Amino acid sequence: MSSQGQVSFRNIVKMHGEFAALKGVNFDIKPGEFFALLGPSGSGKSTTLRILAGLDAPTAGRVLIDDKDVTSTDARDRDIAMVFQSYALYPHMTVAENIAFPLEMAKLPKSEIAPTVKEAARKVKIDHLLDRKPGQLSGGQQQRCALARAIVRKARLFLLDEPLSNLDAKLRLETRAELKKLQRSLGITAVYVTHDQEEAMTLADRMAVFMSGEIQQVGTPAEVFARPNSIDIAGFIGNPPMNLVPARYVDGDVIIAGHRLKTTATTAGERDVVVGLRPGALRMTEGGLGARVDLIEDLGDTAVLDLDCAGTMIRMRVADGNIPGEGDTISITARPQDIHLFDPATRMRL
């Protein structure tokens, strides 16, 4: 792993007039890490990436790269490569010229440029397209060209803003896997913006979850999945996401639709809570919470059931071969450790 490419954000604020796009953002990225910025549309991910790249200046706060304050350093002096969502390929240049451009700007000797370009193009499998113009490439090939242009220079940071969002579903899956391998083999720090939780979960070593201009949680995908910090994150991560059901907490139990469930989560006294239940953590049992099967979405190896529990909608994932019929009444439960509690007022985890 390289020792370069460490990033710290210290209380970064970004105002657009009265509107706060970022309200004091803090995080640290370790060298060589694949770090995802995840969040719904408009939550400030791109803004964060642009501030890191030096394309926008923060209103307040400091950006550190490799322990050096770069808050007021020009974008072109930060030694950062970026893949834009629109790819931003130079339309008047061939693929080879596009990839060579950062090398030319770095004043690499001409004799070294051609082989370096070829090597980068080979890594992303477009070395047969070097003489084409971007307009003559498919979307996926353009995306690879943008990747090649970003990796050719061996910058210390590699930023990607939703690089896969313009690809079709199949290509997105393929490219996703290749991207991860590429980043591993280069040993470069990558910061990856996405609103697709599945993308972040599969790609990232760690991720920061953004909600309306704030980071609500930083952690590995497994940590965030296992212990979401807030109602908003719980409702965002997972497919389908966690069920969030209003309930009452009474010393060690939660009461949902009149049914008592044991929980290992604790809070003081007796109070209203929001209970989080992963669809995959629910199971059918005798004498559990009664529910009517409203709808079945069969996904092949599993199915997702829409259940009506006395007026509350709950989704449940069941394995194939275990699927009740639509309109059946079943009874469900969850293990005590699978019951998450949130405060309905602060929306934070209890």
Ligand X SMILES: Nc1ncnc2c1ncn2[C@@H]1O[C@H](COP(=O)(O)OP(=O)(O)OP(=O)(O)O)[C@@H](O)[C@H]1O
Q: Residue numbers of the site for another protein (CB under 8 A)?
A: 53, 55, 74-76, 80-82, 84, 86, 88, 90-92, 101-102, 105-106, 149, 153
Q: Which residues of 132-167 are buried (b: 16+ CB within 10 A; e: fewer)?
A: ebbeebeebbbbbbbbbbbbbbbbbbbbbbbbbeeb
Give the dihedral sign, CA 124/126/130/133: negative
Nearer to ligand X, 127 or 198 (CB): 198
Residue 39 Cβ, how far from ligand X at the closest point, in Å? Answer: 6
Residue 52 Cβ, how far from ligand X at the closest point, in Å? Answer: 12
Residue 167 Cβ, how far from another protein at the closest point, in Å? Answer: 18
State which of residues 6, 43, 141, 142 lies at the interface with ligand X (CB under 6 A). 43
| Binding partner at 315 among ligand X, Mg ion, another protein, none, C-beta below 5 to 8 Å by kind | none
| Binding partner at 75 among Mg ion, another protein, ligand X, none, C-beta below 5 to 8 Å by kind | another protein
State which of residues 21, 130, 160, 282 lies at the interface with ligand X (CB under 6 A). 21
Q: Among the candidate windows 39-47, 68-76, 87-95, 313-321, which touches ligand X by CB under 6 A?
A: 39-47
Q: Which residues of 20-52 are buried (b: 16+ CB within 10 A; e: fewer)?
A: bbbebbebebebbbbbbbbbeeebbbbbbbbbb
Instruction: Give the list of residues 6+ apart from residue 336 with CB closer than 8 angstroms, or none.
Output: 261, 262, 263, 264
| Binding partner at 111 among ligand X, Mg ion, another protein, none, C-beta below 5 to 8 Å by kind | none
Q: Map residues 173-212 to x or -, x wherever contact with ligand X holds by CB under 6 A.
A: ----------------------x-----------------
Q: Find the farthest-apart pair of alpha carbons in the chain and give their distance in angstroms, rounded.
A: 77
Nearer to ligand X, 21 or 124 (CB): 21
State which of residues 5, 32, 39, 235 lies at the interface with ligand X (CB under 6 A). 39
Residue 201 Cβ, how far from ligand X at the closest point, in Å? Answer: 17
Residue 15 Cβ, how far from ligand X at the closest point, in Å? Answer: 9
